[in-house]
A and B are shown apart, each in its own frame.
Chain A
Amino acid sequence: MSARSEPGLPAPQSRTKKGQMTATVEPKPRTLPPLGPNRKLKLPKQAERTLANGLTVIAVRRPAVPLVELRLWVPFGRAHLARGVMLAQTLLSGTPAMTSVQIAAELQKVGGGLAAGIDPDRLMLSGTSLVTGLDRMLEILAAVLTSASYPKDEVGTERDRLVDRIQVAQSQPAHLAREALLKRVYGRHPYAIQTPEPEQVRAVRPAALRSLHGERVHPAGAVLVLVGDVQPERALDAAEKALGDWTGGGREVDLPPAPPLEPGPLLLVDRPGSVQSSLRVALPAVPRTHPDHAALQLANLIFGGYFSSRWVENIREDKGYTYGPHSLVEHSVAGSVLVAAAEVATEVTGPALLETTYELGRLASVPPKEEELEQARQYALGTLQLGMSTQAGLAALTSAYAGNGLRLDFLAEHAARLAKATVTDVAEAAARYLAPARAVTVVLGDAERIAPSLAALTAVETTSVSAATES
């Protein structure tokens, strides 16, 4: 780090007054105030019930504002990709009793709204309403879950919109880089392709959606989370009343475990004319419950997981190669992976890769300093508190945990592990998971301009966008 120590402008001014009988006094340096005592992690009041139909309901109280957050996680692994995405796009498009416009209007009346989204693990229905509208929002949710009708016209409209959206996504470098990385990392696993091709979407018919809904949108294994200005037991009663009759056959589907990373040549995806290169590095990681997880999280923070990390301080604050580099451990049901991502100027793509490899290698080879670990630890512990301090944050956290078989009390367990991880633990985790020799690297950019500088550092395999991303 090369911050200069000379004083900046405006220069500190002498505080002595003319005529005062003292020698010139330099402005006294001010010292950083210490932190007050740490607040203990306090879990909110909550309740849980598994209904007779197999649906798990978790209700969490945070009365700060008179709202309620809703998250319904329905396991959706190995579903047909284009049909799954279209199902999420049209789930709220109508029931025998209501059109899509009526569904939206009825929800609005109670300050509510619902949205559906999908990833390779789950279908997610999420919403927020005034707390007085909870019963109504649940009632409409139940109607959609039990009788979504996938009307032909609406399906046609949404199909076209989805195709347009995919086309726009495919013009965005971050999306293309992500697609190329997933395909490279996951090979033949269902996680490899997460965006359908337009022609696959065009082939989806309402009948296929109705049958997919019948097979997969069922309560067994699903988790409903309600967070807000509610009495947890009463919220459970409301959910049971509304969703107790939701049934559905279908089978449980397990995802195969994600394959281990297979390092190889850097994959260079050509995007001619690109003024930046999208650099993505995938590294092995472990699930939240693994004994190494806390130490890995801390190692990742020290490397590139927050602003005050080595990587960000190096390639942004020292060298100015990039704006927002970040690295993150991503947890999915079938496995976890660490992904480091940066958009760097085309002309410094090689140097940016060099610094990235250097920082990974340095942490994997030399233990971090005690104060680096303390700083990362405080950040990890503090942001746990911040994440729990809103209804929406609590809902997202509770749902993500529950979808992976965990409950909020895991937070306390995790905080304890973060608190006691040692420099040795973190150094060992870094050696095991952050070693650049284990990395899978993808760069999307103007190959003609960046290939030579990348090839100076590592073996490079160049490919086209379509070959790197299509199924």
Chain B
Amino acid sequence: MAARRSRIPATKYPVERFTLDNGLRVVLTPDRSAPVIGVAVVYDVGIRSEPEGRTGFAHLFEHLMFQGSENLEKLAHFRHVQGAGGTFNGSTHLDYTDYFETLPSNALERALFLEADRMRGPRLTEENLRNQVDVVKEEIRVNVLNRPYGGFPWLTLPPVMFDTFANAHDGYGSFDDLESATVADAADFFRRYYASGNAVLAVSGDIDVAEATELIERHFGDVPARPAPQRPDFTEPDLAAERRTSYTDRLAPLPAVAGAWRVPDPITDFAGYLPYVVLAEVLTDGDASRLVERLVLRDRAVTSVGGYLGFMGDPFDVRDPTALLLQAHLPPGGDVDKVLRTVDEELDRLASDGLAEGELARTQARMGTHLLRDTDAVLGRALRMAVLEQQRGEPGLLNELPRLVGEVTEEQVRAAAATLRPERRASIEVIPGGAR
């Protein structure tokens, strides 16, 4: 008998889409429940598009987009956003780079002006470049070099799993490459990738659609038209044999391990991909999940275990090739081989015996809550919809996700689990080099 399901509710955020003459795609999603707006501009370029010898360049360039633009001095962007009561940031991903603000809604036109101005052209100077190379090096020291488990596994696992430079290289970049970057490189990168035809603008929250449309035409309408570059083919074949490696982290006090398996193409085979998103949660969401119950609570073989889709934890904003990842931290002297064997055993059990009554429904209900919670933030909607527009031409998919997750069947989850075989797995072990 089927377990009674909690109905997973959906959101109904309205979606307006249009394209300006210069090719800029626009998504508007009004919601007047709070006097705030989210503004996001997403460019279709990320870590995978960096040229060889320029590791970390997409991220460095993201920093340069904040260093002044056609009509704005250095520091002006920050001051104008914050001086309007807003917050801002940008981030660099495998397949895209985003720039965004959350603001009180009386600052809509100002935010559009700021984004349009840097879309026309950032001020790329030697002085700003050197300054931001220094800042990025400190960012890498904070997040990678001066802490235990830095870059684990998002920077350390891709080179095990992938063979091409695009997919395997360190997206933060080597200090050598960062220091060799030139203003000419940056100008070239901008001309090539930061084209109006390669960008999506999304505005969410307390807006009037007609007014926002007019303001967008006014500020972005005369951004020079440049077409999107041809996107290279980043595909790689699946693994034919297990790959396993290890490294010593001189700061880490305890062992850790991460494993990854390739999954179906998230864009062209979304229906085939979704069961893996659900599977990761069946395996690791909370004390009642398969691997937490087994590895943490029963065997005490690990201290913590997590599972997710995408090296940057980005299930709905990454393209192929991508992966399902599992990662675990072990107690002192923990046995990584045994942990991997137990994971295989649990995957086998899931694939052959299926799920317990209600197990799938409760996992889906929890996923529904997480998805809804993310969309409550006005910026979350703008960012998500911008990327969904860019990668799928389907920003309204955001409203559908809780339902689609809820429609994944037990058979699909079992079938997904059955594909996570050791011979398709890439894994990496952290050997603790830091004792206190």
Contacts and interface: CB of A to CB of B under 8 A. Distances in A.
Interface stretch (B17-25, B92-100, B230-238, B285-293): B285-293
A424 B77 CA distance: 28
Contact of B366 (A6, A38, A111): A111
Contacts of B132: 320
A435 interface: no
Contacts of A5: 73
Nearest to A165: B303
Nearest to A93: B287
Contacts of A383: 85, 87
Contact of B110 (A35, A172, A322): A35
A356 interface: no
Contact of A29 (B71, B251, B285): B71
Interface string A153-179: 010010011001101101111100000
Interface in A94-147: 100-105, 107-113, 128-130, 132-133
Contacts of B228: none
Interface residues of A, number: 97
A405 interface: no
A12 B70 contact: yes
A59 to B, nearest CB: 17
Given A7-B123, A8-B121, A374-B83, A345 B6 contact: no
B253 A105 contact: no
A9 B121 contact: yes
Contacts of A31: 71
A108 B83 contact: no
B134 A385 contact: no
Contacts of B303: 160-161, 164-165
Nearest to B10: A66
Contacts, number: 284
B104 A382 contact: yes
Given A29-B71, A104-B288, A171-B436, A109 B6 contact: yes
Contacts of A104: 286-288
Nearest to A166: B253
A173 B147 CA distance: 7
Contacts of A459: none
A161 B125 CA distance: 50
Contacts of B103: 382, 386
B362 A385 contact: no
Nearest to A2: B127
A9 B106 contact: no
A5 B366 CA distance: 53
A458 interface: no
A257 B303 CA distance: 37
Interface string B31-43: 1011110000000
Interface stretch (B54-62, B261-269, B367-375, B418-426): B367-375
Contact of B78 (A30, A63, A273, A308): A308
Given A4-B127, A33-B113, A108 B85 contact: no
A54 B376 CA distance: 33
B128 to A, nearest CB: 8
A275 B146 contact: yes
B257 interface: no
A379 interface: yes
A396 to B, nearest CB: 13
Interface stretch (B44-52, B137-145, B307-315, B385-393): B137-145
Contacts of A165: 303
A318 B113 CA distance: 25
A174 B143 CA distance: 11
A39 B376 contact: no
- B31, B82, B369, B373 pick with most chain A CB within 10 angstroms: B369
Interface string A268-285: 000001111000000000
A128 B84 CA distance: 32
A65 B331 contact: no
Contacts of A132: 6-7, 9
Question: How large, as a class, is the contact surface on chain B?
Answer: 35 or more
Given A170-B253, A343-B138, A39 B74 contact: no
B148 A112 contact: no
B381 to A, nearest CB: 10
B199 interface: no
B275 interface: no
Given A130-B6, A161-B303, A33 B104 contact: no
Contacts of B250: 273
Contacts of A19: none
Contacts of A92: 287
Given A30-B71, A133-B6, A320-B132, A172 B148 contact: yes
A66 to B, nearest CB: 4
A322 B137 CA distance: 9
Given A35-B106, A67-B369, A275-B145, A168 B375 contact: no
A152 B360 CA distance: 30
B68 interface: yes
Contacts of B106: 35-39
Contact of A308 (B82, B141, B254, B378): B82
Contacts of A273: 250
A5 to B, nearest CB: 7
B182 to A, nearest CB: 11
B358 interface: yes
B341 interface: no
Nearest to B31: A64
Given A12-B70, A375-B82, A276 B142 contact: yes
Contacts of B187: 9-10
A364 interface: no
Interface in A241-300: 273-276
A323 B138 contact: yes
A9 B331 contact: no
A66 B304 CA distance: 31
Interface string A402-437: 000000000000000000000000000000000000
Contacts of B286: 104, 107-108, 113
A66 B402 CA distance: 12
Given A101-B287, A382-B86, A385-B104, A171 B135 contact: no
B36 A164 contact: no
B34 A320 contact: no
Contacts of B139: 323-324
A157 B304 CA distance: 12
Given A317-B131, A385-B36, A168 B361 contact: no
A42 interface: yes
A32 interface: yes
A378 B84 contact: yes
A392 interface: yes
B138 A321 contact: yes
B246 interface: no
A375 B83 contact: yes
A168 B127 contact: no
Which 5 A/B pairs are nearest by Cβ-Cβ distance? A382-B85, A8-B123, A320-B134, A3-B74, A36-B106
5 contacts: A4-B125, A33-B113, A36-B105, A316-B135, A386-B102
Given A65-B376, A102-B288, A391-B376, 4 more contacts: A38-B104, A104-B288, A108-B285, A157-B296
Interface of A: 1-10, 12, 27, 29-39, 42, 62-67, 92, 100-105, 107-113, 128-130, 132-133, 154, 157, 160-161, 164-165, 167-168, 170-174, 273-276, 306-308, 313, 316-324, 343-345, 374-375, 378-383, 385-386, 388-392
